[in-house]
Chain A
């Protein structure tokens, strides 16, 4: 299904069109389940999160109309933010980094980076301009929702150092994307 079709489905969902919502779910739930699974790394919790994500999409679909994001990016952002909120709440209760370490982190190799196509290529090139460990921190945070505390521990640096690293990396990324 092409992006314009998904746009229409989201807009129709905002008008409480249940058939459009069903179709939207059919077209996009695999991708969003992939997001939830990746961040939460637990099937049962990801299934629960996926339901909540689509409840949000059903109730907040009208917000898509005022967003400049592509429909898939908008949906992924809803799913990511929800899954990250969930894991942040969960990790307050447990300190288990062991589980997080089991996640096969996607930090993609150069070949995989080319997957991204024209629109995505730029950010991957910009990430390549960063030091490898800093680029890995950005990707790790984005894809699996690692917190500052977890990143600091994994990279063996104090939390404030990690914050400085990331903020510098983000600055460089922004400059590079605007070049």
Chain B
């Protein structure tokens, strides 16, 4: 620290406590005290909310990961099973699973309708310069890729600048559009130059602002269709 640091103003009092709670740096006992105070003290609760609002854009860096369906089933049991009389519980779970299957059937019809809908849509009008670049990196890792998406050729050219997956693991490339779950663009082989051709239904996801991310996965790629390992590099597409 430089000497001038000592004259820098710092956040104090309730404002500091609110910010530290939101940031998450407090020990367990203090977090508990603060949580109680939020319930009891409207003024203080407002300070906490202001800090939540200030820092919330950082939440955009949480990469969505699809949760296993068992989680929702367990959640439903936890929240709603108590309402079912004990005698009919077996039947209820049978009905629940029927409901689940119905839900899946509906979802697949909807998915089909979406695919059909896409196919029926007229081709998107081409912009004059339909090319995007992204520099994929993460200061915590040495993995770096440069990606170029050419909309006319419908290919992503990837150059690996640094980093490699350990033996028995693979890098997988994902495209993320807004809060949508990541869509896989495939496993990246151990080559410094690669070309990836996204499937037809993913073409629409490539636009300025969309995120490309590389995650570390078991050999052969994610077994779940969603990233399961850490994101070792990411960056957003910029129009060039």
Please indicate whether A and B come from the same complex rather than being unrelated chains: yes
Residues 204-219 of B at the A interface (beta carbon under 8 Å): 209, 211, 216
| Chain B residues with CB below 8 A from A121, complex form | 57
| B113 interface residue per 8 A CB criterion | no
- What is the chain A residue whose CB lies nearest that of B134? A111
Chain A's nearest CB lies how many Å from the CB of B132? 12
Provide the residues of chain B in CB contact with A68, threshold 8 Å: 49, 53
When chains A and B are docked, how far (Å) is the Cα of A18 from the Cα of B76? 10
The contact string, 1 if C-beta is below 8 Å from chain A, for chain B 36-71, is 000000000000010011111111111111111011
A164: Cβ under 8 A from any B Cβ: yes
Report which of B16, B181, B235 forms a contact with A30, defined as CB distance below 8 A: B181
**A105 within 8 A of partner (CB):** yes
| Closest residue on chain B to residue A167 by CB atoms | B10
Q: Cβ of B56 and Cβ of A104 under 8 Å apart?
A: no
A29-B67, A167-B16 known; A89+B28 contact, CB < 8 A? yes
In the complex, which residues of chain A have a beta carbon less than 8 angstroms from the beta carbon of B228? 43
Q: Find B65's partner among A33, A136, A147 (CB 8 Å cutoff).
A: A33
Any B CB within 8 A of the CB of A8: no
Is the beta-carbon distance between A31 and B62 smaller than 8 angstroms? yes
What's the Cα separation between A30 and B182 when bound, in Å? 9
Pairwise interchain contact B56-A69, C-beta atoms closer than 8 A: yes
CB distance from B62 to the nearest CB of A (A): 4
Stretch of B85-93, B138-146, B184-192 with 4 or more beta carbons under 8 angstroms from chain A: B138-146
Which residues of the other chain, B, contact A120 by a CB distance below 8 angstroms? 57-58, 60
Measured in the bound complex, the distance between the Cα atoms of B137 and A57 in whole Å is 34
By the criterion CB–CB under 8 Å, are A142 and B49 in contact?
A: no
Contact flags (1/0) for A7-18 with B, using CB distance below 8 Å? 000000000001
With A30-B67, A164-B10 given, is the CB distance from A85 to B31 under 8 Å?
yes
Partner of A73, one of B1, B12, B59, B80: B59
In the complex, chain B residues whose CB is within 8 Å of the CB of A18? 80
Residues of A within 8 A of B19 (CB): 167, 170, 174
A140-172 vs B: 1/0 string, CB under 8 Å? 011101111101000000000100101110111
**Interface on B for A, CB 8 Å cutoff?**
1, 5, 8-12, 16, 19-20, 22-28, 31, 35, 49, 52-68, 70-72, 74-75, 78-80, 134-135, 137-141, 179, 181, 209, 211, 216, 226, 228, 230-232, 234-236, 238
> Nearest 6 A-B pairs (CB), nearest first?
A120-B57, A104-B230, A30-B64, A167-B10, A73-B56, A33-B67
Chain A interface residues toward B at CB < 8 A: 18, 25, 28-31, 33-35, 37-38, 43, 47, 50-51, 54-55, 58, 67-70, 72-73, 76-77, 80-81, 84-85, 88-89, 92, 102-109, 111-112, 114-117, 119-124, 136, 138-139, 141-143, 145-149, 151, 161, 164, 166-168, 170-174, 177
